[in-house]
Amino acid sequence: MMQRKLALLVGIGALAILLMLKWEHVITLINGEKASVQFALQPRQRTPTDTITPIPFSRHLMVSAFKDHRLGGAIRVISIICRQELQPLYCVLCANAKADANVDAKADGAPGQCTSFQAKVHQHSDDFGFPFVTSDVLCLSPALQQATRVSITANPYAFHNLTFLSIQNQEVKESFKYNFTVCISNLFGVYNNALQFAQTMEVYKLIGVQRVVIYNTSCGPDVEKILKYYSKEGMLEVVPWPIDKFLKPSTGWSYDLHHGDIHYYGQLSTLNECMYRYMYQSKYLLMNDIDEIIMPYKHANLENLMGILQQQRPNAGVFKIENHIFPKTQFDDSGRFRLPRWKSVPGVNILEHVYREPDRKHVFNPTKVLINPRSVEQTSVHTTLKQFGLVFNVPFDVCRIIHVRVPLQGQLSKDQLFIDKKLWEFEKLLIPSIDRALNESGVL
């Protein structure tokens, strides 16, 4: 009997030692306050098409992770937080070179170590009344410098089977691949406005846009062809955005009017994700919708515009552009651009809509922003929420948004509207390029 007890005790002791060697947990203190857990782990890397990941033991979601050099190298995880179920969240940082490699936990922060500690959660101030809000989960720790991946969890004791995000923006860059990039927040439903999309993309090229980023939940068949065409061409990056698999997204901007879990299919999350994704890829970002064109009126292109504006306002990093409505219910009388070959293409022909609604002095005229992304910490739809530089309101006659959509002042007759034929100035180059896009994409 004694021998059996002794054997049992030896077996338990050996198992305990094996578990200790396997997990290699080491408890230390950061600034003498919060406990940090260091351990060996086999991180599971998220696939590139998985752009939304649930945060374990919570209703929250994480989107992507970036090193923010403006905040001392803090790791910022763009997240979607349920405001009604707030709880402590924990960062899990790993520094091994390969996602499937066994790591050797060491206390000196060398590659191979994983570290866990409590995160700070900063909800963005714009939530439009919805229960889920775009947020920054910030990881602040001396162990950050070597980290290559991060995960967020609500359980400080369960670190295995986590999905990890690659930490982007590891290095500060002074030169950029693109000068101007457009961030378009969301495609959803059966959006099939192929003609306007193709026309807008070709106008972008002519005014100096080199890259367009769009977040796609779903779209119609003809727009799908256009997306594939511009992606193959290299101008467009399509980011999968399956928000409807995790939440009940709203199709509108107001919770009281449209209900749902989150504003406009997560528009605020995608705009902020795009801003950080292209922070060191593009000199400037244009944050607007798919039916909007930020158009210079006193300069030939965006580069000339920003050269002057930045010279006049060297400390500005946010440039607010007025939105102006071109009702798609009012048509140019001449029929100059009512081209028979475009009749079979679904969507709006923006060249036919040259009538612009007047300003309503008593009504707020929403803006969109053209930004230096390195000057902005958080953005919303019509303005930035946190920025490091100054904000400048660009005069209407210098630059404004051409927004072809349903009218806001539908009671106005044609003679009460302004004629604005700015897009016609691009006719010679624009028409052939639109034809080429429609033909090569297979829409025509």
pLDDT digits (tens, 9 = 90+) for 423-443: 999 999 999 999 999 999 999
421 Rama sector, left if φ>0, alpha if ψ -120 to 50, beta otherwise: alpha
- Structural element, H or E, at residue 238: strand 236-240
Tell me which DSSP letter residue 322 carries. E
Burial (CB count within 10 angstroms: exposed 0-12, middle 13-18, buried 19+), residue 19: exposed
Q: What is the pLDDT of residue 40?
A: 56
Whose CA is closest to 403, among 423, 383, 427, 385? 423
| pLDDT tens sequence across 150-195 | 999 999 988 878 999 999 999 999 999 999 999 998 999 999 999 9
Domain ranges across the chain:
53-97+111-168, 178-441
- Which of the two residues, 2 and 71, has the higher pLDDT score? 71
Whole-model pTM? 0.88
For residue 362, name the pLDDT band (cuts at 50, 70, 90).
Answer: confident
CA distance 66 to 365: 33
Q: What is the CA radius of gyration of the chain?
A: 26
- Which of the two residues, 42 and 123, has the higher pLDDT score? 123
Q: What is the pLDDT of residue 6?
A: 52
Three-state DSSP class for residue 155: coil
Residue 259 pLDDT > 50: yes
Which ranges in 235-366 belong to alpha helices (H)?
A: 255-258, 267-277, 302-312
| pLDDT tens sequence across 331-357 | 999 999 999 999 999 999 999 999 999
Q: What is the pLDDT of residue 255?
A: 80
**Taking a C-beta distance cutoff of 8 angstroms, is the pair 214, 184 a contact?**
yes
Backbone φ, ψ for residue 75 (5° rounding): -95, 120
Three-state DSSP class for residue 290: coil
N- to C-terminal Cα separation, the chain: 87
- Structural element, H or E, at residue 222: helix 221-233
Residue 425 tokens read as: 């100035």
- Within 13 Å, how many C-alpha atoms sit on residue 108's CB side? 2
Same fold for the pair 53-97+111-168 and 178-441: no
For residue 256, name the pLDDT band (cuts at 50, 70, 90).
Answer: confident
Place of tokens 């006659």: 397
For residue 293, CA distances in Å to 126, 266, 324, 402 come to 24, 22, 10, 5
Mean pLDDT of 236-247: 97
Residue 240 tokens read as: 């999968």
Tell me the fold of 178-441: Spore Coat Polysaccharide Biosynthesis Protein SpsA; Chain A (3.90.550)
Domain 53-97+111-168 class, CATH top level: mainly beta
Q: How many CB atoms lie within 10 A of CB 169?
A: 19
Residue 41 pLDDT > 80: no
Q: What is the pLDDT of residue 42?
A: 57
